[in-house]
Amino acid sequence: MSKPLIGLTNKEVVRSRNEHGENVLPHKKEGSIIGLILSQFESPLIYLLIGVSIISFLFGEQQDGYLILAVLVINISIGFYQEFRAQKTLDALKQLLEPITTVIREGKRKRIPTREVVVGDFIVLGAGDVVPADGKIIESVNLLIKEAVLTGEGEAVSKDPEFDDQAYMGTTILSGNGIMEAEVVGVNTKFGQIGKELIAIEQRETPLQVSLEKFSKVLSVLVIITALIIFLVGIYYDNEPLSMLRYAIVLAVAVIPEGLPVVVTVILALGMRRILKQKGLVKNLISVETLGATTVICTDKTGTLTTGNMQVVLEDLKDKEKTYQAFIVNNEQRTNIEIALWDYVHKNGFDAKKFFEDYEKIYLEPFSSASKYALTVCSCAKSKIGYLTGAPEILLDFCKLSKEEKDKIEGEINKLAAQGYRLLAAAYQENVDEANPKLKSSYIWAGLIGITDPLREDAAANLRKAEEAGIDVKIITGDYRVTAEKIAQNLGLHLNQSQIIEGSEIDSMSANELSKVIGVKKLFARVTPEHKLKIVEALQNNGEVVAMTGDGVNDVLALKKADIGIAMGNAVEVAKEASDLILLNNNFSTIISTVEEGRLVYKNIRKVIAYILSNSFAEMILIFGALLLRLPAPLAVAQILWIHLICDGPPDIALGFDEDKTGLLKQKPHDTRKEFILDRKTRTLIVFISLCIAFLSLMIFRHFYLVVGNYQLAQSIVFAFLSIISLTYILSYKDLEIPIVRMKKFFKNKILLWSLVYGYILTFIAVYLPGLNEALEVTPLEPIHWLIILIGAVVISIGVELIKMIRFK
C-alpha cells in the first residue's frame, strides 16, 4: 500500500512562494496608487493649467498661482478617489470569479484560490478541471488530458506516472483522476508564454479615448491661440505687456475645463455599476463607453440566443444498443449536450453502470471543435470495440456504406437539419486492431439523434432591437449549415445564400478577400475558434467596432483582439481574463442592455462637455469682448476659479447621474473615431449660448463700470450673473435634443437638484461672507442687482429652449 501524501506545511508554502513567485499569468499591471495619481496628469488640459500657474508665479501673481494649484489639487484628488474606488469595486467583483484548486497540505485536502498554488504542492486532478501549474504526474487512474491549448492537437493524451508524464497549466482533464506535484508556476509555465502573447497583441484605442484625446488637443490649441491673440491685440492697443499677460492668463483659466477628467471618470464608473445590475461585469472603465459605439456583435448561438437546456427529441437508429453505448462511453457529463445525451439514454432504460462494469476504456480521442468527433475504444472480454460519436457528415466518411445507403442517410441528415435540429451520429466497429486503434475506417453506422436547444423567448426581439440600434449581429456557430439556417429563420432572419458562409470557405480566403465579403455575411456555420480571430480582424479592417463572444481557451485571441471581448459566465478563466465584459447570465439580452448603458454613458459625457464648454466659452468671449471695448478684465482669476468650483464641480458631475435612456436604441452607433465628440447641432447650441451669455454679461459690466462708475460692483454682478445663469440653464442640458416640456422623469435626478442648491449657496456665501468676498474681490449686492441677474437667467434659459424646440421639430 502506497504511503499517504502529506504535502507542504504552511511554512513551506510561504518559503516556496517567496522563492518561485505567485501562480499568476502574465498580465498588464493594474493601476497602483502612484500610477492612478500619475494618470490624472494625462490630459493636455492639466498641463496647460500647470503652465498658466507657473507663469502666474513668474510674474508675481502669487495669489492667482496658488489658487490655480489649489483647483488642480482638488480635481486630481477627486479624480484619484473616483478611479481608486472603481478599481476596488472591480477587484472585489473579480474575486467572485476566482478559480479554485484542490491541494493536499499537511495531510488534508484543501480548496484554495488557484493563484495560491506553489511549487511543491500536491494538486488533485479530476474530470473537467483545468490544470493550474506545470508538474509531474505522481498518481493517475485512466487520466486523459487535452493539450490542444499548447500543441494544437485535438487528441487527448494519456498520463501515467510510470512514464514520468507531465501535466501543463491550462490543459484540461477530460477523464479519469490523478495527483500531480507542481514544479513550475505562473509566468514560467508553458502556458505563461501564451499569456505574454496576449499582452503583446496591440489593442486599439477605444472610440472615447480617441475622441477625448482629439478634443483635448483641439481645445489646448484654441486656448494657446486665443491667449496669444488677446496678448497681441492688447499690445496693439498700447496696453502694458505685463497687464496683457495677466489678461491672457485669466482667459486661459476661464477656458480650460479642469474638472472634465473627473467628470468622465465618475460617469464611466456609474455606467459600470448600472451594467452590473443588468448581469454584466465590465472589467475596465473605458470599455463602458466602447459598448455604446459597437457596430457589430459576433455572437455564439448556444446559451446566448438559446436557453442552453438541450433535449433529445428524435432518433433514427439502426442499432439502438450500440448507439446508446456510444453516447455513454464518449460522455463525461461536462457539457449541456453530454448531460442531455446521458439523461436520454438513462430514461430509455440503458444501464450505464452495468455497461461500465463490463467495459474498460483502452484508447480515447475526445471531441474537439476542429475534429468534430469523439472516439473511444473499449475492451470487453476478448473483444475490442470502437465507438464513434459526432457530426453526422464526419462519421459518414468513417463508415463502410454502399452509395445507396450513404445517399439515404445524407438525405435524412439534410431533412432533419433543415428542421433546426442539432444532429449527432453514432458508429461502431468490433474487433478493432489493437495495434492501430486510431484507424477510423470500415465502421458501422449505428444511428442518428436530434437535439433541440429552445430559443430564448426574447431572442428574436433582442435581434430586432440590435437591428433598430444600427448594430449588425453576426451569428457564429459550429452547427451544420442547414441546421444553422433553420435556427436563423426561427429567429426571424430570412437570409439568402450570399449571407451565409462556412468555416471551410474562410480557410480558403485571404485576409483581404474575407474583408471584402464579410460585411454582407450574417450567418457563419461550421466555424471553429480559430476562425473567430480572422472574422474580428476582417471586420476591424473595415472600420467596425467589434464585440465578440467566447468561452473556451481557443477563443482568447479573438476575445483579446475584439474591441469588446465578451466572455460567458461559465467560460474558462483565461477567456474571462482576455475579455472586457463577462455575461453573468449568458444572455444575449444582456449584451443589448450593456450597449444601451454604453450609449447612455456617451450621451452623459457629451452633454457634460457641452455644458462645461458653454460656460468656458462664455467667459472667454466676455474677456475678449471687454478687451476690444478697452474695458478692464470683467472677472478676476479667483472669481473664475470660484465659478468653476460652483458649476464645474458637483452640478456637472450630477448631470452624469441622469438615467433617461429614451430613444437610445433607436439611434445609430456613434463613430467617435471619425467624428468629433460634439456634433454640429450641439456646437451650434454652445456658440449660441456662449454668445448670449457673454453679450448680456458684457452689457451689464459696461453699464456698472462706465455709467455707475464702480469697477468692483461691476465685477461682482458679472460674477454672480455667470454663477446663477449657469446653475439655471443646466436643466436644459439634461437632454440636448428634447425640450424641457417633453423630458420624462425630469425630477428623478435628485443629485442634480441638490447640487444646484449647493451652487446657489456657494454663490451667496462668496458674495456676503466677510473675508471670503474680500479674497474674491466681490462686494455685497443689493436686491435690484439680483433682479437683473434673475431676468438675465430667465432670458438665456428661454433662448436655449427655443433653439432646442426648433431642432426637435
- Secondary structure of 88-103 in the HEC alphabet? HHHHHHHHCCCCEEEE
**Which pLDDT value is given to residue 220?**
75
Position 92 pLDDT exceeds 50: yes
Kindly tell me if the per-residue pLDDT of 548 is higher than 80: yes
Check residues 677 and 760 and name the one with the higher pLDDT: 760
For residue 367, pLDDT beyond 50: yes
- Looking at residue 134, its pLDDT comes to 95
Give the three-class secondary structure for 43. Answer: coil
Residues 599-638: tens digit of each pLDDT: 998 889 888 888 888 888 898 889 888 888 888 889 887 7
Answer whether 702's CB lies under 8 Å from 631's CB. Answer: yes
DSSP E strands, 491-568: 500-502, 523-525, 546-550, 564-568
What value does the mean pLDDT of the chain take? 83
Strand 581-583 relative to strand 564-568: parallel, antiparallel, unpaired?
parallel
d(CA 429, CA 29): 54
Going by C-beta distance under 8 Å and a sequence separation of 6 or more, which residues neighbour residue 537? 511, 561
pLDDT band of 334, cuts 50, 70, 90: low
DSSP H helices, 160-308, are: 190-200, 207-236, 241-255, 260-277, 287-292
The kind and range of the H/E element at 446 are strand 444-452
Which residues have a Cβ under 8 Å from the Cβ of 472 and sit 6 or more positions away?
A: 295, 296, 297, 519, 522, 544
358 pLDDT exceeds 80? no
Average pLDDT over residues 375-389: 87
143, 176 in Cβ contact below 8 A? yes
Helix ranges restricted to H, 121-171: 148-151
Between 382 and 139, the more confident residue is 139
Other beta carbons within 10 Å of 673: 17
Q: Enumerate the active-site residues.
A: 300
CA dist 391 and 408 (Å) reads: 16
The pLDDT of residue 1 is above 50: no
The residue ranges of DSSP E strands in 453-598, in sequence order, are 472-476, 500-502, 523-525, 546-550, 564-568, 581-583
Separation CA 667–CA 471 (nearest Å): 10
Q: If we measure between CA atoms, which residue out of 281, 269, 212, 213 comes closest to residue 83?
A: 269
Cα–chain-centroid distance for residue 611? 27
Residue 149: pLDDT band with limits 50, 70, 90: low
Over residues 456-475, the mean pLDDT reads 92
Question: Which pLDDT tens digit goes with each residue over 742-791?
Answer: 777 777 888 888 989 988 998 999 999 998 888 888 999 999 999 999 99
Share of the chain above pLDDT 70, in %: 85
pLDDT reported for residue 271: 86
Report the distance separating Cα 529 and Cα 381, nearest Å. 40
**Cell numbers describing residue 578:** 482576455
List the grid coordinates of 584.
453573468
Q: What pLDDT sits at residue 48?
A: 65
Could you tell me if 181 and 19 are in contact, meaning their C-beta atoms sit under 8 angstroms apart?
no
For the segment 400-417, what is each residue's pLDDT rounded down to a tens digit?
Answer: 999 999 999 999 998 888
| β partners of residue 100 | 113
pLDDT of residue 206: 60
Residues in CB range of 382: below 8 A, 6 or more apart: none
Does residue 307 carry a pLDDT above 60? yes
- 8 Å CB contact between 124 and 102: yes
Q: pLDDT at residue 643 above 80?
A: yes
Q: Which residue has the higher pLDDT, 184 or 270?
A: 184
Give the distance, in angstroms, between the CA of residue 568 and the centroid of all CA atoms in the same chain: 13
Give residue 351's pLDDT band: very low, low, confident or very high (50, 70, 90). Answer: confident
Distance CA 52, CA 74 (A): 17
Q: Residue 597, SS3?
A: helix
Scanning the structure block, which residue is given the C-alpha cell 439634461?
Answer: 734
**What is the reported pLDDT for 196?**
55
What Rg value do the Cα atoms of the chain yield, rounded? 34
Q: Which residues pair with 377 in a beta bridge?
A: 363, 386
What local confidence, expressed as pLDDT, does residue 473 receive?
94
Does residue 250 register a pLDDT over 80? no
223-249 core/surface letters (b: 16 or more CB in 10 A; e: else): beebbeebbeebeeeeeeeeebbbbbb
- Residue 564 confidence (pLDDT): 92
pLDDT band at 100 (very low <50, low <70, confident <90, very high): confident
CA pair distance 672, 208, nearest whole angstrom: 6
Q: What is the mean pLDDT of residues 303-314?
A: 82
Instruction: Give pLDDT tens digits for 33-82.
Output: 776 777 666 666 577 667 777 877 776 767 767 777 776 777 677 667 76
Question: Has residue 699 got a pLDDT over 90?
Answer: yes
Contact 305, 588 (CB under 8 A): yes
pLDDT of 150 higher than 90: no
Q: Which of 45-54, 113-122, 600-609, 699-708 is the least confident region?
A: 45-54
pLDDT greater at residue 646 or residue 448:
448
CA torsion 530→533→539→542, rounded to 10°? -120
| Count of helices and strands (H, E) across the chain | 30, 21
684: helix, strand or coil? helix
